Structure 1
């Protein structure tokens, strides 16, 4: 059996989120914009929900779920301070070890909270089990390309000042992988898509301050914890483009239920695609024309 990856120091992540909890107002506009994009998916269903789990919502998800008339909302976070300010019934817990019984919720929302999980496939399996049949899972993650300018600027500056590179920005998921992960975890009707949230900063220090205020400091185990060279950050910041974007990957999946739409069996169609397109059908190996 393959060992689970151990990329992130979850204890360090919890401490940083705890430290960041009083400063959430500083980054609330970004979190709120991401939450609105994610929760817009609820408008695509007529299903009404009664028991929701807000996973790492940092005070912007639970109030929006309550405004939609959901009577019971549990807010779980790795850090106690974050859970207490989230807006639902607070629970301190780890996304890698969910403390909920099977079928506890009919809606789970994870807004920018799963990208620091070491075993994302395992976490998705647990989240699917925590849903009742026909329950809905919504999640957003920063996607590949987010903070790419900062990643490259830091790598180039560190290579110049130290002769090597240490990971300073977390690895992010790619869109093409997410629908497959949902399917492997047992979700029905899995969908993954992408939105973009443009960001503009006046100074590099403003960007760094926002990352810290959101509890998004570097928690990669392989990071070099030595004091960086004095010239590293000024050199990196001198090459940094302050116009950037948060590439928001959105996952949607349902806990399986017999009432859900099923894909048609191969060969069961009663009409030919070529007829619908008004074209000629060719067999494999035939040349058109």
Structure 2
């Protein structure tokens, strides 16, 4: 028996289709992710020929020079505008070993089967292919979570989806079979002039509530949340909100890749290494 779906695929598609209309005015979070991916890609000295842009949004990712790019997005509007295909990350419509680079910026945090999605990414990579991913991780929207919890008092309901922390992300990469996996986190703080501006940004970037079980937000709860948000403002009447961006790097296994040393193969003891030199 499969586990119940946390996210509604239809709600996710609708949220992305609504966001596609004016995404350019709310794309700062994905732009930050793409900058981080570009930085990591810049230190790789190999050539890529076939690239998959997974969760392509507005196709802002620029592939390496000379590479062909395929694009996939869960939303129809983004996929159509990018000349790509519509699909879900945990049901990829591509053959094994089709790409030597896969980039996924901004969608993996709302995939029902994240371990399965990462395994599929590894499978569509050729041996020694590279995966670079980024998504919003644990501690993101800490202020929003706090003010909603305070506004709903003794009867809180889930409105923001579960989040993956950086350590769990690294473990998932290992489970998916990536070689030399790395997971790291960067924090971005955005100062908002009001609660409504934050909600507008979340809707505009396609990050609205897409949980399978959703509950309407009553006006009195919304008013209390807005007031609590304003109370957290600084001297300029702006309230900081936190976004933690988790970056993933991993390689598809290949026979000629560097291997970690076998446990117990060292020739120098720790005691000897720490002994003061005379």
1:212 to 200, 203, 206: 203
Instruction: Tell me what 2:251 maps to.
Output: 254
Find the aligned partners of 2:29 and 2:182 in 1 and give their Cα distance. Answer: 24
Aligned ranges 1:41-52 → 2 under 5 Å: 41-52=40-51
SS in 2 for 1:239: helix
Contact preservation (8 Å) 1:51, 1:70: no
Find the aligned partners of 1:4 and 1:123 in 2 and give their Cα distance. Answer: 15
Q: Which runs of 5+ in 1 are unaligned?
A: 281-289
Find the aligned partners of 2:213 and 2:188 in 1 and give their Cα distance. Answer: 29
Aligned ranges 1:32-111 → 2 under 5 Å: 32-59=31-58, 61-62=60-61, 64-65=62-63, 68-86=64-82, 89-111=83-105
Aligned ranges 1:1-289 → 2 under 5 Å: 3-59=2-58, 61-62=60-61, 64-65=62-63, 68-86=64-82, 89-159=83-153, 163-225=154-216, 228-240=217-229, 241=232, 242-279=239-276
Instruction: Tell me what 2:236 maps to.
Output: none
1:213 deviation in Å? 0.8
Find the aligned partners of 1:134 and 1:220 in 2 and give their Cα distance. Answer: 36
Paired positions, count: 269
Contact preservation (8 Å) 1:166, 1:222: no
Find the aligned partners of 1:70 and 1:166 in 2 and give their Cα distance. Answer: 49
Change (3 A) 1:180 1:224: same
Contact preservation (8 Å) 2:33, 2:135: no
Find the aligned partners of 1:7 and 1:75 in 2 and give their Cα distance. Answer: 25
1:60 deviation in Å? 5.3
**Does 264-273 or 175-184 show the bigger shift?**
264-273
SS in 2 for 1:236: helix
Find the aligned partners of 1:100 and 1:33 in 2 and give their Cα distance. Answer: 28
Find the aligned partners of 1:233 and 1:207 in 2 and give their Cα distance. Answer: 13
Find the aligned partners of 2:26 and 2:219 in 1 and give their Cα distance. Answer: 28
Find the aligned partners of 2:107 and 2:78 in 1 and give their Cα distance. Answer: 12
Instruction: Tell me what 1:286 maps to.
Output: none
Change (3 A) 1:112 1:16: same
Change (3 A) 1:273 1:133: same
Find the aligned partners of 1:49 and 1:103 in 2 and give their Cα distance. Answer: 13
**Does 237-246 or 11-20 show the bigger shift?**
237-246
Q: Which runs of 5+ in 2 are unaligned?
A: 233-238
Find the aligned partners of 2:72 and 2:66 in 1 and give their Cα distance. Answer: 16
SS in 1 for 2:219: coil
1:61 deviation in Å? 4.1
SS in 2 for 1:231: helix
Q: Deviations over 1:90-142 (max 9, x none)?
A: 11111121000000111111111101101111111111101000001111111
Contact preservation (8 Å) 2:15, 2:208: yes
CA RMSD of aligned residues (A): 1.7
